Amino acid sequence: MGLERIEYKKPAELQRMRAAGLVLAEALDTTVAAAAPGMSTKELDEVFAAVLAKHGATSNFLGYYDFPATICTSVNEEVVHGIPGARILQDGDVLKIDGGAVVEGWHADSARTVILGTADPEDQRLSDITEEAMWAGIAALASARHIGEVGDAIDDFVTEQPGAPLGILEDYVGHGIGSAMHMAPDVLNYRSGHKGARIKPGMAFAIEPMLVRGNIETVTLEDDWTVVTTDGSRASQWEHTVLVHQRGIWVSTAVDGGAERLARYGVTPSPLA
């Protein structure tokens, strides 16, 4: 992907990406609120789809390489790309909800981890560290000269945490986004020694660390989508879409543009003009 052309968005196009991000934020808020033991993952997909329909937005997941749903629902050792279906959620499950929205041809992509009912403290720690690692990466983007600095910041944050070490998946990374969901450049979640693309206004990125409590080795199940840890360890995924413009950055899939969570890093996101 590194050889593909990077897309630079005009201000009006970034505004449409912001509109898609706000629809997606509402859809995820509603789906997370509905998630509970006893629900099926298919029911959650229906909740999400209804919010998109209410706003006249479309799903960038449904039909993507024949993916059959509007969200990915990955449970426990399932890391990413889980297909919603008849599975009934249980108390203590670690659920990753990954979804997207398209408004006037422009995309947003975001994911959250939800622990249902009574959380195992180590699962909660996994989710909390993954989420904060995402924000550390977003904060780094605000002053980064090259995209590789995002992965450096995520890696540094994760490895500095006390307690049992967590693994950072390397096979699945963030990406550019805009007129398509997956675009150049890749956004690594770990130190690679490569600077990567130079950051310029008009770029947009989906920053999405995925962490596991055990080994980072994964395998894809027979459905050709669901990715699971080979040792059965539980996983977490958090993701936001971030826009780069002339005056700074803006998290399109956060209602406040990321202001509250970025404040602890001394970063003030700048609204789009």
Domain boundaries, the chain: 11-265
Q: Edge-to-edge strands of the sheet including 71-75?
A: 71-75, 94-103, 106-115
CATH number for domain 11-265, candidates 3.40.220.10, 3.90.230.10, 1.10.238.10, 1.10.3720.10: 3.90.230.10
Query: Which residue shows structure tokens 């006037």?
Result: 104
- How confident is the prediction for the chain on average, in pLDDT? 97
2 — pLDDT class (breaks 50, 70, 90): very low
- Cβ of 232: how many Cβ atoms within 10 Å? 11
Residue 84's nearest CA partner among 99, 74, 95, 94 is 74
Cite the annotated binding site for a divalent metal cation by residue number.
98, 109, 175, 208, 239
Q: pLDDT tens, 201-235? A: 999 999 999 999 999 999 999 999 999 999 999 99
Mean pLDDT for 51-60 is 98
Cβ–Cβ < 8 Å for 74, 237 = yes
Cβ–Cβ < 8 Å for 138, 262 = yes
In the chain, the percentage of residues whose pLDDT exceeds 90 is: 98
Cite the annotated binding site by residue number.
81, 98, 109, 175, 182, 208, 239
Q: What residues does 227 pair with on adjacent strands?
A: 80, 220
Q: Edge-to-edge strands of the sheet including 174-176?
A: 183-187, 174-176, 204-207, 240-245, 248-251
Cite the annotated binding site for substrate by residue number.
81, 182
Look at residue 1 in the predicted model and tell me its pLDDT.
38
Q: pLDDT tens, 238-271? A: 999 999 999 999 999 999 999 999 999 999 999 9
Residue 3 has pLDDT above 70, yes or no: no
The tally of CA atoms less than 13 A away on the side-chain side of residue 73 is 26
Q: pLDDT tens, 118-151? A: 999 999 999 999 999 999 999 999 999 999 999 9
> What is this structure's pTM?
0.97
